[in-house]
Amino acid sequence: MTWVHAFHIVFYVCALLICGTCFFYTLFRKRVQRLQNKLYILMLSIVTLNSVCDIIAAVAENYSLVSNSAFLVVGISNFLYFTVHALLAPSLLFYVCCVNGMYTRLSIRRRIIYLLPCFVTIFFTLTNPLMHWVYYYDENRAFQRNWAEMFFYVVAAVYLVGSVVYLLWFWNAITRRRRIALTGAFVIVISSVMLQLLFIDVKSELLGEAMGLLFLLLIVENEDDRLDADTNTYNRKGFLLDIRNFIMTKQTFHVFVINVVNVDIVRRLTGSSSIQALARLVATYFRTLVPPYQIYHTSYSTFALLYTGDKKGADALAKKLEQRFNESWSCLDISIMLNAVILYASVPDELKTPDEILLMLDSPFPKSSAGKVLHGSSLNYLIRRADVERALHTGIAEHRFEVYYQPIYRMENLSLHGAEALLRLKDPDLGFIPPDEFIPVAEQIGIIDVIGNFVLHEVCQFLQSGIPQEKGMSCIHVNLSVIQCMQPGFTERILSLIDSYGLSHSLINFEITETLTASDYQTLAGVVSTLQAEGFHFSMDDYGTGFSNMQSIFELSFDVIKIDKSILWGAEAGSTGKAILENSARMIRQIGKQIVVEGVETEAQIEMLKRIGVDYLQGYYFSKPIPREMLISFLS
Ligand code: C2E
Ligand code: CA
Ligand code: CA
């Protein structure tokens, strides 16, 4: 064998080894459902087959002068090489279109037009044994190029330019990693082709193509960061990337979010391994409805599906899902009902931005939605949720929050005891937004501490003015969100804030509504006891509304318990309610805590509470929450 042939073979073998590795990995991972994956495998097969053809041709060429069969082998190898290689460049073009999401927007006509040059080159290669337009063998059986080979290069160059154009055109529709991988692959392939054009014996083209494919495998085809290992579906990140891409490439689609609301109960009944098995079972069912790469397991209890068919199909899909979740699932020999809320929206008709779609995953849905399909106008709460979020941000930036005060009275002589600070937000577009609505949103988007600090500053300023004390108030109640208290460094921050006003700590009474799981008690108990040691008082808010009030009474040493207005109002409705109120009050007195009852609206309620024996009263009977200046004149 001549050294030149040996030198060529080294390049081909390297290319073959790289392709083999890529093949092994691709098939091993079994992620081959998307057109994108299929095109990748096609390109890989082309380069592999080309490498094999080139190796065989390079070996056989050594004997082609002396052996007819060796010459025939050379001929067949080259024929195969050219025929197959013609498919590589168009595959790359379509591959790029798949990665950036453009492919589905290419009309059938356009796809065919894009393939035409490729068909012509294949026509040339198929007819070459007769016409010799592409290449031929001279009298010494040496390979010679002919005029049509130039056409091959031009066509390949056009496809390559087209791929680069599509890449740049929808540059923002793909992630940074993918941009880098695709750009890298282009640079490698183009430089290897140039190198081979300049130095005919440096057979770098196939090697460059193989390396480009390796690059794509490692970064584009490898989706480990987007996968949910448990269910072999995609994860939240995959969902976000896909909806972004769909929106940027202006596709219309439908999003389904299936939220299993009783997942915690199911887990307690059946154990966590069965939850995983159930999730896999549900994912398998979804695979019968939509392509496997449009199923997302976005959280412990939530799945999302993307459906790209028409509205009618989407409605039918919603029906099917609703029916299926009204039946039981059998898993590990047990039969379980999964109680699901199904949200369904069309993009861009109903929801437009990725943020709006993410709200479908993240916003708590209206109570009593379980077992229902929410779509159309029942999804308005999502828009409202987005509006409230926006109102919170602009409210902070434009100082639209205001603190109101609602006085609290002693039962004894009905004399003034203090006031509760209650936050107000008025938005120019949405009008008055109740705190019950915006506080949970502020907690969720992580700005509750900004809001909490604002309230505290206002209260401290009020107390620093000395007016509350003058009017006979012994304290101001400030609501604290548990989320706020749990943040690291909370006690230090709150102490330095209050101490910057030089106030006596006993003037502030913090109200907390417990919404905790048992594991969080320790942190909260630490916060409460540290601040109590500093002289602050603590009230348990909304007693009687939660279901584990008892535990927080045990674990957190409150000074005051505020009985919720619903308990008071319930006591007027009948003897059961009355017994609950009386016994709650008795129990709280027995453990030595003080009692506030809120929601007092009538004189009759005051009479009843006097008989039962409570310490403080708060409610519309005395005053609604009012602005600071109004409170001052009200108390005068
Ligand atoms: P909450 O702490 O239980 O506050 C008592 C709520 O009951 C207030 O509603 C008050 O206006 C209302 N209320 C008081 N007396 C009566 C009455 O006689 N009749 C009726 N119908 N209602 C009465 P508001 O101000 O809308 O506050 C709702 C909730 O928002 C509060 O419940 C509290 O959980 C939260 N919140 C308000 N301000 C803040 C704050 O600054 N920080 C935090 N973290 N939460 C706050
Ligand atoms: Ca309160
Ligand atoms: Ca309350």
Would you state the structure tokens that stand for residue 587, as one six-digit string? 């129990």
Q: How far apart, in whole angstroms, are the C-alpha atoms of residue 455 and residue 7?
A: 78
The residue to mutate among 538, 598, 617, having the most atoms of ligand 1 within 8 angstroms of its beta carbon, is 598
Question: Above 80 in pLDDT, residue 555?
Answer: no
* Nearby residues of 635 by Cβ (< 8 Å), 6 or more positions away: 407, 416, 471, 472
The residue whose C-alpha atom lies closest to atom 27 belonging to ligand 1 is 435
| pLDDT score at 547 | 57
Question: Above 90 in pLDDT, residue 549?
Answer: no
% of residues, the chain, pLDDT over 70:
99
Q: Measured in angstroms, how far is the CA atom of residue 569 from the centroid of ligand 3?
A: 13
Query: Which of 80-84, 468-472, 554-558, 574-578 has the least mean pLDDT?
Result: 554-558
| pLDDT score at 30 | 76
The residue whose C-alpha atom lies closest to atom 13 belonging to ligand 1 is 599
Query: How confident is the model over 182-190, as a mean pLDDT?
Result: 94
Residue 23's pLDDT band, with cuts at 50, 70 and 90, is very high
Ligand 1 contact, 407 CB (< 6 A):
no
Question: Above 70 in pLDDT, residue 517?
Answer: no
The residue whose C-alpha atom lies closest to atom 34 belonging to ligand 1 is 436
Angle, CA 589 vertex, CA 583 and CA 595 arms, to 5°: 90
Query: Which of 143-152, 275-284, 373-382 has the least mean pLDDT?
Result: 373-382
Query: How confident is the model over 62-81, as a mean pLDDT?
Result: 94
- The ranges of the chain annotated as CATH 3.20.20.450 are 399-635
Atom in ligand 1 nearest the alpha carbon of residue 422: 38
% of residues, the chain, pLDDT over 90:
77
Average pLDDT, the chain: 92
Ligand 1 contact, 423 CB (< 6 A):
yes
pLDDT digits (tens, 9 = 90+) for 214-248: 999 999 998 888 999 889 999 999 999 999 989 98
Q: How far apart, in whole angstroms, are the C-alpha atoms of residue 3 and residue 219?
A: 37
What is each CA distance from 317 to 344, 448, 636, in whole angstroms? 10, 39, 65
CATH annotation of 3-222: 1.20.1070.10
Ligand 1 contact, 479 CB (< 6 A):
yes
Q: Measured in angstroms, how far is the CA atom of residue 479 from the centroid of ligand 3?
A: 9
The residue to mutate among 406, 422, 565, having the most atoms of ligand 1 within 8 angstroms of its beta carbon, is 422
Ligand 1 contact, 599 CB (< 6 A):
yes
Closest CA to 507 of 540, 529, 472, 476: 476
Residue 545's pLDDT band, with cuts at 50, 70 and 90, is confident
Question: Above 60 in pLDDT, residue 475?
Answer: yes
Ligand nearest to the CA of 567: 3
Would you state the structure tokens that stand for residue 382, as one six-digit string? 């999502």
The residue whose C-alpha atom lies closest to atom 41 belonging to ligand 1 is 423
pLDDT digits (tens, 9 = 90+) for 86-111: 999 999 999 999 999 889 889 999 99
| pLDDT score at 454 | 97
Ligand 1 contact, 542 CB (< 6 A):
yes
pLDDT digits (tens, 9 = 90+) for 312-349: 999 999 999 999 999 999 987 888 999 999 999 999 99
Look at the domain 225-384 and name its fold: Alpha-Beta Plaits (3.30.70)
| pLDDT score at 548 | 56
Q: How far apart, in whole angstroms, are the C-alpha atoms of residue 363 and residue 329?
A: 26
- The ranges of the chain annotated as CATH 1.20.1070.10 are 3-222
Query: How confident is the model over 592-604, as a mean pLDDT?
Result: 96
Query: Which of 9-13, 64-68, 430-434 has the least mean pLDDT?
Result: 64-68
Would you state the structure tokens that stand for residue 122, as one six-digit string? 């294949």
Q: Measured in angstroms, how far is the CA atom of residue 620 from the centroid of ligand 1?
A: 12
Q: How far apart, in whole angstroms, are the C-alpha atoms of residue 595 and residue 572?
A: 18
Closest CA to 86 of 128, 27, 58, 57: 128
Q: Measured in angstroms, how far is the CA atom of residue 394 from the centroid of ligand 1?
A: 22
Residue 466's pLDDT band, with cuts at 50, 70 and 90, is very high
The residue whose C-alpha atom lies closest to atom 11 belonging to ligand 1 is 625
Strands (E), 411-465: 416-427, 431-433
Q: How far apart, in whole angstroms, are the C-alpha atoms of residue 435 and residue 340?
A: 28
Ligand 1 contact, 544 CB (< 6 A):
no
Q: Measured in angstroms, how far is the CA atom of residue 576 from the centroid of ligand 3?
A: 21
pLDDT digits (tens, 9 = 90+) for 385-421: 889 999 999 999 999 999 999 999 999 999 999 999 9
Look up the pTM and report it: 0.75
Atom in ligand 1 nearest the alpha carbon of residue 620: 18
C-alpha distance across the termini of the chain, in Å:
111
Q: Measured in angstroms, how far is the CA atom of residue 547 from the centroid of ligand 1?
A: 20
Question: Above 80 in pLDDT, residue 53?
Answer: yes
Closest CA to 476 of 552, 536, 562: 536
| pLDDT score at 516 | 67
Correct CATH for 399-635 of 1.10.10.10, 3.40.309.10, 3.20.20.450, 3.40.50.300? 3.20.20.450
- The ranges of the chain annotated as CATH 3.30.70.270 are 225-384
Q: Is 322 helix (H, G, I), strand (E, B) or coil?
A: helix
| pLDDT score at 381 | 85
| pLDDT score at 373 | 87
| pLDDT score at 372 | 82
Question: Above 60 in pLDDT, residue 440?
Answer: yes
Q: Measured in angstroms, how far is the CA atom of residue 104 from the centroid of ligand 1?
A: 52
Closest CA to 544 of 525, 566, 527: 566
Ligand 1 contact, 619 CB (< 6 A):
yes
The residue whose C-alpha atom lies closest to atom 4 belonging to ligand 1 is 422
